[in-house]
A and B are shown apart, each in its own frame.
Chain A
Amino acid sequence: MSITAETVKHVANLARLKVDESGLPALVRQLSDILGLVEQLNELDTGNVVPMSHALDQPMPERADEVTNSNRREAMLANAPDTSQGYFRVPKIIE
């Protein structure tokens, strides 16, 4: 199956990625190649097969809902690109 340039641009926007016009034809071709590869799965009848979502089919364990972390605000903010008064700072979002 091939994918169109419009679909590639739509998906890029969903993923918050920018696609340069100059790089678009190569990306369309590469994604079409990969989708061509994955279409092979349609050869298989999987009507009665239960989807496998965990490598070992283990149930999810539960734990008590207790706070185990201490307050480490400074450490958590230390990697942020921009902070102010103990908060992450972003560009203005309300006019």
Chain B
Amino acid sequence: MDPTQSTLVQAQGLLRTRQISAVELTQAFLERIDRINPVINAYITVDHDGALEAARAADRCLRAGNATPLTGIPIGVKDLFCTENVRTTCGSRMLANFRPPYESTVTRRLKEAGAVILGKTNMDEFAMGSSNETSFFGPVRNPWDIGRIPGGSSGGSAAALAAHLALATIGSDTGGSIRQPAALTGISGLKPTYGRISRYGMIAFASSLDQAGPLARDAADIAVVLQILAGHDPMDSTSIEADVPDYFNTLANRLDGLRIGIPEEYHPDGLDPEIRCALKEAERVLLDLGASIIPVSLPHTRYAIPTYYIIAPAEASSNLARYDGIRFGYRCQEPKDLNDLYTRTRSEGFGPEVRRRIMLGTYVLSSGYYDAYYRKAQKVRRLIAQDFHQAFEAVDLLLTPTTPGTAFPLGERVDDPVAMYLSDIFTINVNLAGLPGMSIPCGVDQRGLPIGMQMIAPVLKEERVLATAHAFQCATSWHQRQPEL
């Protein structure tokens, strides 16, 4: 069997029973990446030497019998997690040659667990985008149809999995950037509770919304990776001090007694009928597994996009002020004075979408506008969060579509930011409320493109989302479909 076609949990078994060595497994993925990545463009940097060195170390651990569940597992990491001495670009010209002098907590934990980091995956520039078209390193192609976008901003992480270029990947999600590309490429992706995984060394976009999370082929694989990543980190002041449950051993086959809410606002008239139909069918599967389905309302849902497009650009404009061409990153040629250095460095180093969001953020924070925009948005953010808290008094979990449509053609929305922003209409709310949300495949449209469904749980109830996803995947086979490459 070709080991690149296995799940993470299956590969664990192959490694532990010595049917394959970590070096052989890593080589199989590196060879596949060398062959397929030129078409898909899922990786910006492939670390052949570092991966093989980690695989040799993993083989020593496996022989000595002190392996962790991730020892020898090949993983791709979104290119916004700082990796010491390995180029970390954030998809931007600004950081095209940046070699971080320190390690992010996410990658440090992966390395300490013995995982093999294959490389750094492509992404929208500074994680700003829903299609992976804003990357300085070129768009990522959707493995289901290379004329279509894979979603974004973690488009490289999602496409790498769909194309079997890793057993798991790490993404980040500020407004849907794990769940939306997972849905559009037919894989599973989890955004944990805000603060569940450390943000230390994760290049900042919107600090009150950013959260790292795993993408994988199924819920069981995600449980294994989340176990390593979750937990308190003193290096991140927003990291939560709470016990980490055993995610793998709480996976379920049945859902008896589980109350699932269906928010009416997530089924608007304009929803793609094929997505509506796939969600109806998913409800039937969940009922068969023992769950009950209850209609609920989240009345402030439609204010989430406007709220997000004040808060996220405002925080981004502050975070991205650090890119001044002096301490690290790109610097323009022959600046005539300091102001010219700042202005040309930033205008040449950032792409159009990043510049647009910095300007929007600067505008809403500028003198005289702060109360009208940023403060107003923070108030509406609370109303949106309260909708969820009230809904969770009656139900245990919410089920929604992940996206309003399936993968769209490359180039279709690049000149229309508002149309692009609306791709995240069902995912942004979850970031504003800080909740865990997960997308898993639940169907296909008439073109054969994947459809995703989103499950949302109360704060720190990742295990409930994973258990539900696992039970659904035991009863369905959508997550096993593979594109022809």
Contacts and interface: CB of A to CB of B under 8 A. Distances in A.
Nearest to A49: B379
B148 interface: no
Interface of B is mostly: helix
Nearest to B434: A55
A58 B307 CA distance: 21
B204 to A, nearest CB: 15
Contacts, number: 160
Contacts of A16: 324, 339, 342-343, 346
Contact of B195 (A38, A55, A79, A82): A55
A11 B390 CA distance: 40
Interface in A44-87: 44, 46, 49-56, 58, 60-61, 63, 72, 75-76, 78-82
Nearest to B385: A52
B106 interface: no
Contact of B381 (A17, A18, A38, A52): A52
Interface stretch (B57-65, B232-240, B392-400): B232-240
A16 B345 CA distance: 9
Residue among A18, A78, A92 having the largest count of chain B Cβ atoms under 10 Å: A18
Interface string B30-44: 000000000000000
Nearest to A44: B380
A76 B379 contact: no
B215 to A, nearest CB: 21
B433 interface: yes
A41 B380 contact: yes
Nearest to B325: A81
Contacts of A38: 306-307, 309-310, 364, 373, 377
Interface magnitude class on chain A:
35 or more
B359 A31 contact: yes
Contacts of A34: 309, 360, 417-418, 421
Contacts of A18: 343-344, 347
B359 A8 contact: yes
Given A3-B363, A31-B363, A37-B309, A17 B343 contact: yes
Contacts of B339: 16
A11 B454 CA distance: 38
B383 A44 contact: yes
Chain B interface size, under 10 / 10 to 19 / 20 to 34 / 35 or more: 35 or more
Interface string B413-433: 001011001000000000111
B42 to A, nearest CB: 26
B361 to A, nearest CB: 8
Contacts of A30: 356, 417
A93 B385 contact: no
A78 B101 contact: yes
B9 interface: no
Contact of B326 (A14, A58, A90): A90
A17 B347 contact: yes
Contact of A81 (B195, B331, B418): B331
Given A37-B421, A58-B195, A58-B240, A93 B337 contact: yes
B362 A15 contact: yes
B355 interface: yes
B338 A15 contact: no
Contacts of B362: 11, 14-15
Interface string B375-392: 111111111010000000
Contact of A40 (B195, B238, B306, B330): B306
Given A15-B317, A27-B356, A34-B309, A79 B328 contact: yes
Contacts of A39: 306
Nearest to A16: B342
Interface in B241-262: 241
22 contacts: A14-B366, A15-B317, A16-B346, A17-B347, A17-B355, A27-B356, A27-B359, A31-B360, A31-B363, A34-B418, A34-B421, A37-B306, A40-B303, A50-B379, A51-B378, A52-B381, A53-B208, A55-B385, A56-B195, A56-B240, A90-B341, A91-B338
Interface of B: 97-99, 101, 193-195, 208-209, 234, 237-238, 240-241, 300, 302-303, 305-307, 309-310, 317, 324-331, 335-344, 346-347, 350, 355-356, 358-360, 362-364, 366, 373, 375-383, 385, 415, 417-418, 421, 431-434, 459
